Amino acid sequence: MIARRLLMLTVGALTTACLSACAVPGDNRPELYAASAVDPYTLAAGDRLRVIVFGQDSLSNAYSVDGAGRIAMPLIGSVRVQGLTAQDVERAVAARLRDGYVREPRVSVEVEAFRPFFVLGEVTGAGQFPFVDGMTVRTAVAIAGGFGPRAYQGAVDLTRVIDGVPVTGRVPLDAPVRPGDTITVRERIF
């Protein structure tokens, strides 16, 4: 009888420890995600830029950011844009053009297409989707076909690169989504 009670207490303690360890994956600080959502947008692989050099139609075009975080432009070649804002790229391209190619370049850069976001787990259609400005986790799940029948619908795990490091944490459905985010919808326990 004592051995059975000891076994039941041990199993109960292990179950509680396992469930509490699984309750919060990674970094559970919603303010970290909220702060990064209002930071200026920085470019990365998968973005497509519209670069306009006024008076230089042959240089104005759409350029895709490659896996190394660069765009390749005529005359000036490869320009590193990874981690820069569109305004930073304007200054970098103008400086390179000013260096012997164009006397007083006026450059405009805008993001033509953002890199995709990803939805995994208990959704109807997991995969990669085009980003739309102003998205929340709820709209991202809707784009992925909605919650699956076994999905936990209270919160999701969101992985975002913050300061060059991927950070994963549990966020509510109203949390903003950024390009490149990965949303994982977990299965409910009961």
3-state helix, strand, coil in the chain (%, to 5): 25, 30, 45
Question: For the chain, which residues make up each domain, given as ranges?
Answer: 25-39+115-185, 48-113
Q: What percent of the chain has pLDDT over 70?
A: 80
Query: Which of the four pLDDT bands, split at 50, 70 and 90, describes residue 34?
Result: low
Q: Report the pLDDT value the prediction gives residue 66, as an integer from 0 to 100.
A: 95
Q: Report the pLDDT value the prediction gives residue 40, as an integer from 0 to 100.
A: 85
pLDDT digits (tens, 9 = 90+) for 53-86: 999 999 999 999 999 999 999 999 999 999 999 9
- Secondary structure letter of residue 172 according to DSSP: -
Fold of 48-113: wza like fold (3.30.1950)
Q: Tell me how far apart the alpha carbons of residues 126 and 120 are, in angstroms, rounded to a whole number.
A: 5
Question: What CATH class has 25-39+115-185?
Answer: alpha beta
Say whether pLDDT at 135 is over 50. Answer: yes
Query: Which of the four pLDDT bands, split at 50, 70 and 90, describes residue 143?
Result: very high
Instruction: With beta carbons less than 8 A apart as the criterion, state whether 65 and 73 touch.
Output: no
pLDDT digits (tens, 9 = 90+) for 87-126: 999 999 999 999 988 999 999 999 999 999 999 999 999 9
Helix (H, G, I), strand (E, B) or coil at 52: strand
Q: Report the pLDDT value the prediction gives residue 91, as an integer from 0 to 100.
A: 96
Tokens coding 34: 């909220």
Strand runs (DSSP E) across 31-155, as ranges?
A: 48-53, 61-64, 70-73, 77-80, 107-113, 117-121, 127-129
Backbone dihedral region of 8: left (phi > 0), alpha (psi from -120 to 50 degrees) or beta?
A: alpha
Dihedral over Cα of 112, 156, 82, 46: its sign: negative
Q: Report the pLDDT value the prediction gives residue 31, as an integer from 0 to 100.
A: 59
Candidates 16, 40, 38, 32; CA nearest to 169 is 32
Query: Which of the four pLDDT bands, split at 50, 70 and 90, describes residue 21?
Result: very low
- Residue 92: alpha-carbon gap to chain centroid: 24
Q: Report the pLDDT value the prediction gives residue 189, as an integer from 0 to 100.
A: 84
Mean pLDDT of the region 161-182:
91
Say whether pLDDT at 6 is over 60. Answer: no
